[in-house]
Chains A and B, each alone.
Chain A
Amino acid sequence: MSIETKLTNAQIAWRAAQDIQDGAYVNLGIGFPEMVAKFQPEGRQAIFHTENGVLNFGEAPAAGTEDWDLINAGKKAVTLRPGAAFFHHADSFAMVRGGHLDVAILGAYQVAQSGDLANWSTGKGGVPAVGGAMDLVHGAKRVAVITDHVTKKGEPKLLKECTMPLTGVGCVTRVYTSLAVVDIEDGQFVLREKLPTVSMDDLQSVTDAELHIDGDIAELIVPEL
C-alpha cells in the first residue's frame, strides 16, 4: 500500500506551529523542528529557548554579519529579538528540567503508543551523540513530535513499542505526521486529524499500533507552502 499524497516537512511544521500560543516558551529541536518558528500565526509571538543559553532569539543574520558568539543549539548563527536574555548552561537546563518551558517540539525515529520516544540513536554503532534531547523530553509541559508518518523505506514510525534506543519513557503527548495529528492518551494513539485524501484503512495500514477514535476526526488541511 502506498499513500501518494502527504504533507511536506514545511507543512507538518506549519501545522505544529498553529498549536503554539502567544507568549509560549518554546524549544525547537535541531533541524526539521526549527522550521516551526517560521510559521507562527499572525499576531502570536512565541519566545524561543536554545539550550546554549539564549531566550528570545530570532532569525539568522545576513551572510557576512554573523557573530559566532551568538548561535543556537544547532551551532547556527542567530539574532536577538527585543527582550532577549543570556544565561549559563545550568540555568538553561533549569528552564528545561524545572518544567518552565511550555512546549518542546522534536524529531523522531520512532514513537510508541505509550509515549516513549526514540530520536537519538539508531543503535547501529558509529559515534553516539545525545545532546539535550533526554533533558527536553522530561522538562517541557508539552512534548510534541513532528515526523514523516513512515520511514524512508515505508516502515511505520508510530509503533506498539520502540525498537531503537529510547530517548525518554512515556514523554510524548502529541505527534504531527505527514498524514495525521495523533494524541497519546492513556497508552493509546488517539487520532485527531487526518488528510481528507487518506482513508482510515490506509492510515491504519501504515501505523503499527492501533489508532483509536475518540470523538470527531477533523480534516488535516494545510496551505501550500
Chain B
Amino acid sequence: MDKTIATPAEAVAAIPDGASVMIGGFGGSGAPLELIKALVERFKETGSPKNLTVVNNNTGNGKVGLAAMIELGMVSKMICSFPRSADPRAFTEAYLAGEIELELVPQGTLAERIRAGGAGIPAFYTPTSFGTDLAEGKPVAEFDGRKYVQERWLKADYALVKAELGDPHGNLTYRKAARNFGPLMCTAAAQTIVQVSHLVDAGTIDPEVVVTPGIFVNTVVEVVNPAQEELLNRAEESWV
C-alpha cells in the first residue's frame, strides 16, 4: 500500500475544469497552501482548471491561497459560511461584479452536510436557519413539537486537505485547530488529496491517535515546513 506521490503538482494534475473541490481550512488554519499553489501554477501555465466549485468555510484572504484562485478567475461558485476576512477583496470584487456564484450555508450545516456526504446520508433535519432567509425553498418538518429544516448532503469530486502526520496508507493526524473541516472533507470526496507536514512509515502513527483512517484518503504528498497564510499576508505575498 503506497498512496504517496512526489510533488504537489503531480498530486493535483488530474483535477479538471468544472470540478467540485472541497478545500480544508478555517481561514489560514489548515489551508493546504502548497496544493492550492500547485493548482494556481497549473492554471497560469495552461488555463486549467477553471470553472471550479469550491467548498471552504471562507473565501480566502489577501492574494494567496483560495483568494488567489478567485482573483485569477478559476472559481465560478463558492459554497461557504463566511465570505469575509481581513482582506476579502478577491471574493468581494468578483461577487459584486457578478462573476462568482455564492451558496451561503450556516457553518454547522456546512460541516454536517459534508459529514452526511461522507457517511452516505442524503439529507438530515436541523433547527438551524428555520424561519430565516437561508431556509427559503427547503422542506420543513416538525419533530416532537419543534420545526426543522431539511438539508442535503454535500459531496465533491476532490478534497484538498492539510494534515500533520501521514503514512503511505493515508492515515492522518492533524495539528491543533488546523483540523477543522479536514477529517470531514476527506470522507466526502471521490478523490482525497492530502499534504502532510511529515510523511512517516506505516506503523509509526499509533492507531489510537489516527484521526482520519487511510480508507478516506487517495493521495498523500509530503510538504515539509508548509507556509501559513497569515504570515504570507503579513509579508504581502501575491500569487496573482
**Structural contact, B177 and A138, CB atoms closer than 8 A:** no
B-chain residues with CB within 8 Å of residue A121 when the two chains form the complex: 133
Expressed in whole angstroms, the minimum distance between the Cβ of B192 and any Cβ of chain A is 14
Interface residue total, chain A, C-beta cutoff 8 A: 40
In the docked arrangement, what's the CA distance between A131 and B134, Å? 12
* Interface of A, helix, strand, loop or mixed by DSSP: loop
**Structural contact, A135 and B228, CB atoms closer than 8 A:** no
B-chain residues with CB within 8 Å of residue A88 when the two chains form the complex: 111, 179-184, 211
Interface size class of B (residues with CB under 8 A): 35 or more
Expressed in whole angstroms, the minimum distance between the Cβ of A107 and any Cβ of chain B is 15
A-chain residues with CB within 8 Å of residue B40 when the two chains form the complex: none
Contact of A92 among B104, B111, B229 (CB under 8 A): B111
Q: Is A166 in the interface zone, CB < 8 Å from B? A: yes
A-chain residues with CB within 8 Å of residue B127 when the two chains form the complex: 97, 138
**Structural contact, A69 and B128, CB atoms closer than 8 A:** no
Q: Is B32 in the interface zone, CB < 8 Å from A? A: no
Contact of B128 among A50, A52, A134 (CB under 8 A): A134
Interface string of A103-133 (1 = CB under 8 A from B): 0000000000000100001000011111111
* Contact of A69 with B29 at beta-carbon distance under 8 Å, contacts A134-B134, A168-B131 already known: yes
Q: Is B28 in the interface zone, CB < 8 Å from A? A: yes
- Identify the B interface with A (CB < 8 A): 26-30, 57, 81-86, 88, 91-92, 95-96, 102, 104-112, 114-115, 126-134, 174-184, 211, 228-231
- Identify the A interface with B (CB < 8 A): 50-54, 66-71, 75, 86-90, 92-93, 96-97, 116, 121, 126-135, 138-139, 165-169
